[in-house]
């Protein structure tokens, strides 16, 4: 532990309310995502000590998470150790710890580190760059079936659900169940939903081709739903049309102006109608796969199919 960080240990930090006078001001940055790292780098020539704190030891390139979820990339290919920044920047110390509190009056933060336990860390300036949480637009109950896509664990969960669904499809002799396992519903046709739908279509057609004797993964049903009028609604209409054409060419079925009401163990209810196979959902904001095989819900009554 560097001298800068040694000062923050809990047993020595009882007097932190009146921190020892430091020669240089200290900037504490919480969060080693794009924002936190950019802030740390921007201070590389400043006459300050910088402590960058993250509860994870790695920075994730979130824009490529969908490729981990669809088995195009391995998790290691989109993650880099945050600690390596310390070597490149003399005034920077990296600390693996979860920040649990901020006391603005005494200018200290509380943190819990797997190595050093509870810490109080004094700061002169504080940057909070802790990112965002997935939003389910008022439907947090969707989360248990449709995991978010914010970190590697989410991406691996989604990948396991996709691959698990094909394994189950390959072993069942029930045609309807096979169709259900091979139906994937993505809710939300924003950038992540569109990327994930396209990558999933590639996965079933290319990556999984020839991997199963009794099923053809290319026959999977991929449905992209959105409550809005078009895919990529925040982009120009020409781009939206182009994306629609490309997705349809890949075999993705796009349903717009369809609002999802329920996501549960049996699947998705949208526009008052369950999807044809009542299968797991991928949810934008989002973007996860509901697990129709979740044992906790197997005894729940099934709702009738509306179409
Ligand atoms: C699937 C997906 C695809 C995306 N695609 C694009 C794209 O194509 N183009 C684009 O421009 N943007 C894209 N984005 C958005 C972009 O990734 C985010 O805007 C960016 O990552 C936000 O950076 P951040 O530093 O604010 O937060 P984050 O990158 O989320 O970093 C926050 C950090 O804070 C840490 N942290 C949080 N709480 C604590 C705590 N209490 N203690 C310690 N550490 C903590 C976290 O571990 C994390 O490392 C995408 C996002 C997602 C999820």
Q: How far is the CA of 43 from the centre of ligand 1 (A)?
A: 20
List the residue whose alpha carbon is closest to atom 38 of ligand 1. Answer: 130
Instruction: Indicate which residues carry an active-site annotation.
Output: 195
Atom of ligand 1 nearest to the CA of 65: 1
Does residue 54 sit in the same domain as residue 156?
Answer: no
List the residue whose alpha carbon is closest to atom 41 of ligand 1. Answer: 99
Report the chain's mean pLDDT, rounded to a whole number: 85
Tell me if 307 is assigned to some domain: no
Does residue 115 sit in the same domain as residue 162?
Answer: no
CA distance 36 to 17: 25
Averaged over 209-214, what is the pLDDT?
92
Task: Enumerate residues lining ligand 1, CB below 6 A.
Answer: 30-36, 53-56, 62-63, 65-66, 98-99, 129-131, 149-150, 191-192
Note the pLDDT tens digit of each residue in 175-203.
Answer: 999 999 999 999 899 999 999 999 999 99
**pLDDT for the residue numbered 8:** 54
Does residue 121 sit in the same domain as residue 146?
Answer: no
**pLDDT for the residue numbered 136:** 86
Confidence of residue 111 (pLDDT cuts 50, 70, 90): very high
Name the least confident of 12-21, 183-192, 236-245. 12-21
Out of 99, 128, 157, pick the residue that ends a domain: 128
Does residue 158 sit in the same domain as residue 253?
Answer: yes
CB of 265 closer than 8 Å to CB of 144: no
Tell me if 263 is assigned to some domain: yes
pLDDT at 288 over 80: no
Confidence of residue 299 (pLDDT cuts 50, 70, 90): very low
Written as six digits, the tokens of 288 are: 């996860």
The CATH number given to whatever domain includes residue 88 is 3.50.50.60
Averaged over 67-74, what is the pLDDT?
95
**pLDDT for the residue numbered 48:** 97
Atom of ligand 1 nearest to the CA of 66: 1
Out of 128, 160, 188, pick the residue that ends a domain: 128
Does residue 146 sit in the same domain as residue 293?
Answer: yes
Does residue 61 sit in the same domain as residue 153?
Answer: no
Does residue 62 sit in the same domain as residue 162?
Answer: no
* Portion of the chain with pLDDT greater than 90, in percent: 70
Tell me if 303 is assigned to some domain: no
263 CA to centre of own chain:
18
List the residue whose alpha carbon is closest to atom 53 of ligand 1. Answer: 150
Tell me if 220 is assigned to some domain: yes
Atom of ligand 1 nearest to the CA of 132: 30
CA distance 223 to 279: 10
Number of domains in the chain: 2
Confidence of residue 306 (pLDDT cuts 50, 70, 90): very low
Note the pLDDT tens digit of each residue in 112-156.
Answer: 999 889 999 999 999 999 999 888 888 999 988 888 889 999 999
Averaged over 13-40, what is the pLDDT?
80
CB of 44 closer than 8 Å to CB of 54: no
Q: How far is the CA of 62 from the centre of ligand 1 (A)?
A: 6
Averaged over 20-24, what is the pLDDT?
75
**pLDDT for the residue numbered 301:** 27
**pLDDT for the residue numbered 220:** 96
In whole angstroms, how far apart are CA 54 and each of 63, 91, 267?
A: 19, 17, 36
What contacts 64, CB < 8 A, 6 or more positions away?
73, 77, 78
Please give the residue range of the domain that contains residue 275.
140-297
Confidence of residue 267 (pLDDT cuts 50, 70, 90): confident
Task: Kindly give the pairing relationship between strand 98-103 and strand 108-113.
Answer: antiparallel
Confidence of residue 270 (pLDDT cuts 50, 70, 90): confident
**pLDDT for the residue numbered 285:** 32
């Amino acid at each position: 532990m560097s001298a800068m960080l040694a000062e923050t240990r809990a047993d020595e930090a009882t007097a932190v309310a009146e921190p020892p006078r430091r020669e240089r001001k200290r900037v504490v940055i919480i969060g080693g995502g794009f924002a936190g790292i950019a802030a740390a780098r921007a201070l590389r020539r400043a006459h300050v000590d910088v402590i960058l704190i993250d509860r994870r030891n790695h920075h994730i390139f979130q824009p490529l998470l969908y490729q981990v979820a669809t088995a195009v990339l391995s998790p290691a290919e989109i993650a880099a150790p945050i600690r390596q920044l310390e070597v490149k920047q003399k005034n920077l110390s990296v600390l693996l710890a979860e920040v649990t509190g901020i006391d603005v009056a005494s200018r200290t933060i509380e943190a819990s580190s797997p190595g050093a336990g509870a810490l109080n860390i004094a700061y002169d300036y504080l940057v909070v760059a802790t990112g965002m949480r997935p939003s389910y637009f008022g439907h947090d109950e969707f989360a248990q079936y449709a995991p978010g896509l914010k970190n590697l664990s989410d991406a691996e969960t989604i990948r396991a659900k996709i691959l698990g669904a094909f394994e189950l499809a390959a072993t069942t002799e029930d045609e309807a169940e096979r169709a259900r396992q091979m139906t994937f519903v993505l809710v939300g046709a924003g950038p992540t939903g569109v990327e994930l739908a396209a990558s999933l279509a590639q996965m079933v057609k290319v990556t999984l081709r020839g991997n199963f004797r009794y099923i053809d993964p290319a026959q999977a049903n991929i449905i992209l739903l959105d409550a809005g009028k078009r895919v990529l609604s925040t982009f120009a209409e020409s781009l939206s049309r182009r994306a629609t054409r490309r997705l349809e060419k890949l075999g993705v079925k796009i349903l717009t102006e369809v609002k999802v009401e329920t996501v549960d163990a049996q699947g998705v209810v949208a526009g008052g109608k369950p999807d044809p196979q009542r299968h797991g959902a991928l949810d934008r904001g989002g973007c996860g796969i509901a697990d129709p095989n979740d044992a906790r819900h197997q005894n729940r009554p099934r709702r009738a199919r509306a179409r």
